[in-house]
Amino acid sequence: MGAGASAYLASVDDATLQSITDDVEKAAQLLKLVAEGRRKRELGRRQLTINSLSGSQFQLEIDEAATVLDVSQEIAGIVGVAPGRMLVLTSGAAVLDESKPFLQQLHGDEITYRDQQVGAGQAAVSLLRSLAEWPRHRLCAADTAATDAISSLTIGNEFALSLDAAVLPQNLLTLAFGDCFNESLTHVALPSSVRTLTFGNSFNQSLVGVTLPLNLQTLIFGQDFDQSLEGVVLPCTLQTLTFGDQFNQTLGSCPLPSQLRTLTFGWGFNQSLEGVVLPSSLKTLTFGHSFDQCLEERVLPNSLEILTFGHEFDQSLEGVVLPSSLQTLTFGQDFNQAVAGVMWPEGLQTLTFGRGFRRSLEGVALPSCLQSLTFGDFLIQNSTGIQLPRDLRTLTLGSFVTRSLDSLTLPSNLQTLTVRGCGNQSLAGARLPESLETLTFGQDFDESVDGLVLPSCLQTLTFGREFDQSLSGIQWPKSLRTLGLGRAFNQILDDVVLPSGLKILTFGDRFNQSLVGVALPESLETLTFGQDFDQSLEGVELPSSLQTLVLGDQFNQSLAGARLPEGLRTLVLGDRFCSLEGTMLPSSLEELTFGYFFNGSLEGVGLPDGLRVLTFGHHFDQSLEIALPGKLERLTFGQYFDQSLEAVTLPSSLQTLTFGECFNESLAAVTLPENLQTLTFGDRFNQSLENVVFPSSLQTLTFGGRFNQSLAAAMLPSRLQALTLGADFNQSLEEVSLPSGLQNLTFGQAFSKSLEAAALLSSLQTLDFRGLRICVREES
């Protein structure tokens, strides 16, 4: 050190010297970092700063040969990405493109990431790439994330691609094949995540060599499946197994999963259960029409709660141990075995015998817990000696021929009784329990009820289709609220005093008697006539309490002279009703429905201002240049309506507008209501949407089969959630502005254009196209 330097240092104070020392140390550290960076670059590594939109930050060291996919996967492994979402990486405000080199897109050493919901459109585009035999390692991160967002996939009848070697979505929960699918699954990797697997009616391929999903809970086969299950490994997680009508294979060589809870056989199954071990977890077992095999002594598991036999089962149950857990037991039509030696489970609550059962129950000890007991069509020849459980709540009887109902002691707590027929036996002496709330006479019943004492608590009384006896002289209980008269009933009611508390009165198809002079109860709220009723209502005193009036198909009487109650809310006119001319509709009316043939003008008809629902029938095709009610919410046209709406003022309150098959008028000059939420066009509508102003409130828009107009000029409302395009639609979506909030999008079988526009919709949850139905996970 020279003299000058020594002199300078002597003049520097301690503070300055410390500052110089600090600067030197910082410079040394900087040189060290530069050297380390050079060394890492020489080794092919690079350190990046990763930022989230929330402000968090971390460092990530990557290989300089890394791709956008590599970086995305590394970040996803650190931050975690929920199923149904995907990462989007940006650098310098530009989204990183997986098709371009990573380093060329990097601005500095910083990356910002965000995760976003995957839409069904993007999932569909990615799935098509996957199904087009693209190896999974060639799919970009966006495609991988998009396909893995799919939670439900239905492969329908129009789907044309083979599934051989296809990579299905890895987070799939529900997979369903359509009725035409019948391909082998030997080379198809079914995702382990699938919980519900459904095959359509045509599928009939062997499952030997097919690896079923490890987490499968529900497996449903269609009508034609009839393959042996020998060598097939059913997942241990399986809880529900359903076979179709053709299946008739033994299960002895296929162990059933230990967690199986529901097992259902179809029409054709008729195999012995010898050697079949039913799982101890099984709760519901259903046999189909043809099953008629002897049950081994202890074949039924102790867990079983519901057991149902089909039409042809007619095997003795003596010696068969019915599980103590059994709650419901149902026999089919042919069962006619003695049950005296059957050991009924004490917990049995519901027991149903089929139409062919005609054995005596004398001396049979039915379970004390039984709450519902049903007999079928055949005759109970002797009802004496039958001990019905005291807690029985519901009893359905067949026909009594040699003895009347009074020979049967009914439980005192019975609430519901159905009697099919009494075979010319009087009911006068029948002792019905006071607890009875519902009494139904079945289709064969046509006996006089004169002298029958109806219980004081009875609320509902229904007569079957053959009943046609006078109601005069019946002492109605004050509690009766509902009276139903079957198809054949056609008795005059002049001298009938209906119960004062009746709220619902229903006549069957044959009733066609005048109600003039008939005192309808002041409490009546609903009055329904059947098909043949065609009597004038002029002079009929309809109760002021009446809220719903339904007139049958043959009714074609003028209502001009009828006094419709001021409280009437719903009026349904039958198929042949032709004219409302001169009719004063009540101001209280909220729903008005016209029948099939109505095609009368509404000019001069005063539709009530409070009308909310207006439905026209099949043939209506009249101008609507009338004053529609200001509170109308739902307007439905039938098949033939094809009138211009240009001069029609649709009320602003309208929320649902539905056109029938023939409507094909332009809406360009039509002002659609500002509160419209649902708009549905019929099969023939095929008008341009240019200049059509859809209200901003519209949420559901449905086009019919023949619609094939461009959507490019359509101003689809931003709130639209569901869009359905019919069978013929095949227009490009490239210039279409689909609403960002769209959740459900459906295309018909003709659509073959690109789905790239739909791929931009992150909110899309369900997409139907080309025989596929794709559902993605909803954003939580």
pLDDT digits (tens, 9 = 90+) for 530-583: 999 999 999 999 999 999 999 999 999 999 999 999 999 999 999 999 999 999
Find out whether 314 and 291 touch, Cβ atoms under 8 Å: no
Give the pairing of strands 482-484 and 460-462: parallel
Query: For residue 426, is pLDDT > 80?
Result: no
Cα angle value 483/611/484 (rounded, 5°): 10
Distance CA 269, CA 257 (A): 20
pLDDT 10s digits, 575-622: 999 999 999 999 999 999 999 999 999 988 999 999 999 999 999 999
pLDDT 10s digits, 441-478: 988 888 888 888 899 999 999 999 999 999 998 899 99
Res 290: pLDDT: 98
Res 765: pLDDT: 92
Q: Measuring CA to CA, which residue among 668, 718, 674 is closest to residue 695?
A: 674
Highest mean pLDDT range out of 9-23, 55-69, 544-558, 732-746?
544-558
Q: Tokens representing 81?
A: 């990405």
Distance CA 148, CA 83 (A): 7
Res 779: pLDDT: 47
With a threshold of 0.75, does the pTM exceed it?
yes
Res 566: pLDDT: 95
Give the pairing of strands 57-63 and 45-52: antiparallel
Residue 52 forms beta bridges with which residues? 113
Domains of the chain: 28-117 (3.10.20.90)
Find out whether 446 and 424 touch, Cβ atoms under 8 Å: no
Least confident span in 71-85, 237-251, 393-407:
393-407
Distance CA 699, CA 240 (A): 37
Res 160: pLDDT: 63
Find out whether 723 and 744 touch, Cβ atoms under 8 Å: yes
Query: For residue 194, is pLDDT > 90?
Result: yes
Mean pLDDT, range 632-637, rounded to an integer: 98
Query: For residue 758, is pLDDT > 70?
Result: yes
429 vs 419, more confident = 419
Query: For residue 134, is pLDDT > 70?
Result: no
Residue 723 forms beta bridges with which residues? 701, 745
Res 5: pLDDT: 54
Distance CA 576, CA 560 (A): 16
- Region of 31 (left: φ > 0; alpha: ψ -120 to 50; beta: rest) is alpha
Cα angle value 561/562/567 (rounded, 5°): 140
Query: For residue 711, is pLDDT > 60?
Result: yes
Q: Tokens representing 87?
A: 């990462």
Tell me how crowded residue 269 is: count the other CB atoms within 10 A of its CB: 24
Q: How far is CA 51 from the centre of its chain?
A: 43
Find out whether 301 and 323 touch, Cβ atoms under 8 Å: yes
653 vs 163, more confident = 653
Distance CA 138, CA 200 (A): 32
Distance CA 146, CA 86 (A): 7
Find out whether 433 and 457 touch, Cβ atoms under 8 Å: no
Position 424 confidence tier, pLDDT thresholds 50, 70, 90? low
Write the DSSP assignment of 289-354 as a string of letters: TT---PPPTT-S-TT--EEE--TT-----TT----TT--EEE--TT-----TT----TT--EEE--
CA distances from 259 to 33, 177, 255 (A): 61, 25, 12
Distance CA 305, CA 362 (A): 26
Res 59: pLDDT: 92
Res 780: pLDDT: 42
Q: Tokens representing 536?
A: 């004038």
Find out whether 658 and 680 touch, Cβ atoms under 8 Å: yes
Residue 395 forms beta bridges with which residues? 373, 417
Residues 6+ apart with CB under 8 A from 522: 500, 543, 544, 545
Distance CA 359, CA 385 (A): 13
Res 402: pLDDT: 47
% residues pLDDT > 70 (the chain): 92
- Region of 465 (left: φ > 0; alpha: ψ -120 to 50; beta: rest) is alpha
Res 40: pLDDT: 53
Residue 278 forms beta bridges with which residues? none
Find out whether 383 and 362 touch, Cβ atoms under 8 Å: no
Backbone angles phi, psi at 607, to 5 degrees: -75, 130
Distance CA 298, CA 146 (A): 51
Sheet with 110-117, strands from edge to edge, namely 57-63, 45-52, 110-117, 85-91, 94-95
Res 343: pLDDT: 92
Position 6 confidence tier, pLDDT thresholds 50, 70, 90? low
Distance CA 357, CA 362 (A): 14
Give the pairing of strands 328-330 and 350-352: parallel
Res 2: pLDDT: 57
Res 439: pLDDT: 96
pLDDT 10s digits, 36-45: 665 555 446 7
Residues 6+ apart with CB under 8 A from 322: 300, 307, 329, 342, 343, 344, 345, 348
pLDDT 10s digits, 333-390: 999 999 988 999 999 999 999 988 988 888 888 999 999 999 876 555 545 667 889 9
